[in-house]
Amino acid sequence: MHDHIRQDFRRQSLACNALGSPFTGRVCALLAERLTDDTAFGHRLLNWQGHPQSDALPLRAAGALNAMNLSGRHTALSAAYPPHDVDDETLWSAIAQATDTHDAFLAGFLDSPPQTNEVARSGSLLGGALHLAAMMQLPIDLYEIGSSAGLNLGLDRYAYNLGGKSWGRAEEGVHIEQQWAGALPPLDAPLTIRSRHACDRNPLDPSSEETRERLLAYCWPDQTARKERLAAALASAARSGFRVENADAADWAERHFANPGKPGGVRLLMHSIVWQYLPAEVAGRIAAAMEKAGAAATPDAPVAWLRVEPESNQAPTAAVKLTLWPTGETRTLGQADFHGRFAQWI
């Protein structure tokens, strides 16, 4: 009856192992094998009405448990989480106790999909923006869908080590180190962000303690550097004052790209690991809006579309693609790890 749910937890377990979080892989594997519907938390998970993969169901569950761990409200669970190292029986016992004791909290945490705000993806987004800047020699009006807390809007404010080469600003305290293979993007390109715009169906305030706690819960607990980078990026975003609109991505893209852009700059729509979560109708409308905007683009007011997205649900990496109008040419710039750990640049 629950086989497809359990299978998706097993799939996510393998993905977590591949993405450098064996602990979260263990949690997902244990939930796949041992979860029952005796609690509200277990019942919601095993009787989920949506699609478990597109709804990121295993990551909702892992995030709920990590939120409980970080809260310190269940000492047995916190004692079984990193930096502690326990066997599977001890870990499962702690999870089972936590679900019995804090069932309402854990079940309620499942209401919202994960918003991982993986700021290390800015390395691949920066690479695409640098290519665009080198080609067009124009400032960029930046537009992002699925922006969540707006962390990637500050891609030009961070310090990078890309394949051993440095770029960016250290004063914001956000340091992104990405392994690179292949040629680097043009790090000397004149990148200027003229304006920033973003939307999300659930925009988060980076200055809010509640936002901080929830986003850190989605950071896998055995990835310390990732958690520290997220905390620094949230602080930077709070200082920046960047605003993320509460809007449907298709409505927002149609509105912002319906009219000609301001001359002397290129309008760039970007997104990373968002497309797979959009309903087909929403994705189709965004693509149509970009084609329509591209048809009206001019050399003095070009339009560009940068995406870091897997080309299928089974793809091990995300393709970095850039489409530029008025020519309409699409370039595959490279492949990138989902969490920004490495990139293969073409």
pLDDT in tens, 189-212: 999 999 999 999 989 999 999 989
Nearest in space to 115 (alpha carbons), one of 206, 21, 22: 206
Tally of domains within the chain? 2
Residue 165, pLDDT score: 92
- 147 and 90 share a domain? no
Where in the chain does DSSP place strands (E)?
140-145, 159-162, 165-168, 175-182, 193-200, 245-246, 266-272, 303-309, 318-325, 329-336, 342-345
- 307 and 333 share a domain? yes
pLDDT in tens, 240-249: 989 999 999 9
Mean of the per-residue pLDDT values of the chain: 94
- 92 and 133 share a domain? no
- 85 and 137 share a domain? no
> Among residues 87, 109, 131, which one ends one of the domains?
109
Q: What percent of the chain has pLDDT over 70?
A: 100
> Among residues 65, 89, 109, which one ends one of the domains?
109
Q: What is the mean pLDDT of residues 32-41?
A: 96
Provide the residue type at 263 as one letter. P
Handedness of CA 287, 156, 239, 206 (dihedral sign): positive
Residue 2, pLDDT score: 83
- 127 and 91 share a domain? no
* Structural domain includes residue 166: yes
**Contact 242/207 with Cβ under 8 angstroms?**
no
Rounded Cα distance between 19 and 237, Å, is: 26
Range of the structural domain that residue 310 is part of: 119-345
- 286 and 140 share a domain? yes
Which of 121-130, 175-184, 193-202, 301-310 has the lowest average pLDDT? Answer: 175-184
> Among residues 68, 90, 109, which one ends one of the domains?
109
Phi-psi label, residue 338: left if phi above 0, alpha if psi -120 to 50, beta otherwise: alpha
Rounded Cα distance between 174 and 159, Å, is: 6
pLDDT in tens, 95-129: 999 999 999 999 999 998 887 778 999 999 999 99
Q: How many CA atoms lie within 13 A of 293 on its CB side?
A: 27
Rounded Cα distance between 332 and 334, Å, is: 6
Q: Is the pLDDT of residue 1 over 70?
A: no
- 128 and 100 share a domain? no
- 13 and 148 share a domain? no
Residue 298 is classified by DSSP as B
Q: Which residue has the higher pLDDT, 313 or 61?
A: 61
* Structural domain includes residue 301: yes
Backbone φ and ψ for 210, nearest 5 degrees, come out as -65, -40
* Structural domain includes residue 114: no
- 302 and 229 share a domain? yes
Q: How far is CA 229 from the centre of its chain?
A: 13
Q: What is the largest CA-CA distance in the chain?
A: 64
Q: Is the pLDDT of residue 138 over 80?
A: yes
Q: Is the pLDDT of residue 231 over 60?
A: yes
- 224 and 142 share a domain? yes
Rounded Cα distance between 242 and 149, Å, is: 9
Residue partners of 96: CB distance under 8 A and separation at least 6:
34
- 36 and 88 share a domain? yes
Q: Is the pLDDT of residue 31 over 70?
A: yes
* Structural domain includes residue 137: yes
Provide the residue type at 213 as one letter. E
Rounded Cα distance between 127 and 124, Å, is: 5
* Structural domain includes residue 258: yes
- 7 and 105 share a domain? yes
Residue 191 is classified by DSSP as -
